[in-house]
Structure 1
């Protein structure tokens, strides 16, 4: 029982630190945030912070690693050969993930966020898309993959950012439909 209480306290502490970091990132880069500033904001002492993280960079890296692990699970649930609504259902789950992690995603994707976050995200998505591309298309189309992928992913990241910044007005399902339509129909979607 004591172990559960400790785990709960750790989760609450990490949640408070993450929330505080997210709030501070709305006004300044995470690189400019000090441990002292963060711990004062969330009313914890610095010693508590150092029980969990080496510094702010370590904290951001751990948060990103946890998010990427969860995101990888979302991506790997779907097999493009077995899912009739692929990629619509996958896109909807991605938007649900973003909605559940709205504050930290918005912070990390903002100008005050971690530029490396976007590159790491691209690499995770690239691996999944390349795998699916090879299942769905002939090998001689592999040369076109990087062009298509970079075009599509840059647009998707723009859509994610816009959706987060505009207050998640549309549901994840609506955003999945919009995203799929733009990917598949391109310019015809806005005519």
Structure 2
């Protein structure tokens, strides 16, 4: 049997497990999901699950790791200095990434999701962007900038959560432009 066929089967199995996990996370917390329940839902043998993951927590951790690698890739693609004070290209790529991973983002950012995921996401963006943005928009008040940054990131997470709750009704382009306007112009966007 060819390696490509095996790889395809593995991808298919992992996709089924991921879809099942996101469905279960709509109903309950990760800590309440069992391997048996997940395996039964997607109609695979528990042994097959254990070929790929140690337990449900390991599965969530691996999926989150993949998502964080994708977020890192987006941030690497858009260093703050290259954006010249225009965050729209980076924000657009972030919204596209979220849409491409809508099932897992919905699950992780829902009431049954992983609060640590949101915290790590905020920390990642802060770590990767804060120093560059302080240099670009140097006001001499780094503490004020940290407050501003915290406000903006919390607002963006809220915007993303609302977009998810509205079942991705608007396009990533629309949401990215809205986020960029809110970041750059504040309250004047809705006036």
Output the TM-score relative to the length of structure 2: 0.94
Q: Structure 1 residue 107 and structure 2 residue 102: aligned?
A: no
Displacement after TM superposition at 1:85 (Å): 7.3
Matched residue, 1:98: 98
Displacement after TM superposition at 1:143 (Å): 2.4
Displacement after TM superposition at 1:82 (Å): 2.7
Structure 1: tracts of 5 or more residues without a match: none
Q: CA RMSD in A?
A: 1.6
Question: Number of aligned pairs?
Answer: 191
Measured in 1, the distance between the counterparts of 2:88 and 2:8 equals 36
Deviations 1:98-154 (A, max 9, x none): 110111101100011111110111111111221321441338332223211211111
Matched residue, 1:7: 7
Residues 39-48 or 73-82, more deviating: 73-82
CA 186–138 in structure 1, closer or farther in 2 if over 3 Å, else same:
closer
Displacement after TM superposition at 1:79 (Å): 2.6
Displacement after TM superposition at 1:36 (Å): 0.2
Output the TM-score relative to the length of structure 1: 0.94
Measured in 1, the distance between the counterparts of 2:67 and 2:150 equals 22
CA contact (8 A) 2:80 2:133 kept: no
Matched residue, 2:58: 58
Matched residue, 1:71: 71
Displacement after TM superposition at 1:186 (Å): 1.4
Measured in 2, the distance between the counterparts of 1:108 and 1:30 equals 10
Measured in 2, the distance between the counterparts of 1:138 and 1:118 equals 27
Matched residue, 1:18: 18
Matched residue, 1:174: 174
Structure 2: tracts of 5 or more residues without a match: none
Matched residue, 2:159: 159
Measured in 2, the distance between the counterparts of 1:93 and 1:135 equals 23
